């Protein structure tokens, strides 16, 4: 069974930084590309960032490019998202998501809440 467990969500002030982690198990982590998807309170789903299986390529939504950095540690089976210069509009639950070999989002973690507020 695929398990994705996010951590690191917290209350942070505007302009601050925060790092999220996602511990993966139940599959060969190094074989799969991964993404972060977020959901603001009461809102829909928004893709944030993506990293290929070998970290060779990363992608970012326009709303976070230049502020967020995605990375992974394949030997440790961990996905990361480092967020800087946080804004109120970054407030959301952040989900770690396994991308299938056919490019859709397959398994999701339970999410971790990031709140940006003074």
Partner 1 sequence: EIVLTQSPATLSVSPGDRATLSCRASQSVGPYLAWYQQKPGQAPRLLIHGASTRATGIPARFSGSGSGTEFTLTISSLQSEDFALYYCLQYHTWPPWTFGQGTKVEIK
The contact set with partner 1 (CB under 8 A) reads 35, 44-47, 50, 59-62, 95, 100, 102-111
What contacts 114, CB < 8 A, 6 or more positions away?
9, 10, 12, 18, 20, 38, 83, 86, 90, 91, 92, 93, 94
Q: Judged by CB, which is closer to partner 1: 85, or 110? A: 110
Nearer to partner 1, 8 or 16 (CB): 8
Residue number, 87 or 108, with CB nearest to partner 1: 108
Q: How far is the CB of 99 from partner 1 (least distance, A)?
A: 9
Q: Are the beta carbons of 114 and 92 closer than 8 angstroms?
A: yes
Q: Furthest-apart CA pair in the chain: how many Å?
A: 42
Burial-class residue 13 by CB neighbours within 10 Å (0-12, 13-18, 19+). exposed
Least distance (Å) between residue 98 CB and partner 1: 10
Q: How far is the CB of 52 from partner 1 (least distance, A)?
A: 12
Rounded least distance, CB 15 to partner 1, Å: 25
């Amino acid at each position: 069974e695929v398990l994705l467990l996010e951590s690191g969500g917290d209350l942070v002030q505007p302009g601050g930084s925060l790092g999220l982690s996602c511990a993966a198990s139940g599959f060969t982590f190094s074989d799969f590309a991964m993404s972060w998807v977020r959901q603001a309170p009461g809102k829909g789903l928004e893709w944030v960032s993506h990293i290929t299986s070998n970290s060779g390529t990363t992608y970012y939504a326009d709303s976070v490019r230049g502020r967020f950095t995605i990375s992974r540690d394949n030997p440790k089976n961990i996905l990361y998202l480092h967020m800087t210069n946080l804004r109120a509009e970054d407030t959301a639950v952040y989900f770690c998501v396994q991308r299938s070999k056919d490019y859709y989002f397959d398994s999701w973690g339970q999410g971790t809440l990031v709140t940006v507020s003074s």
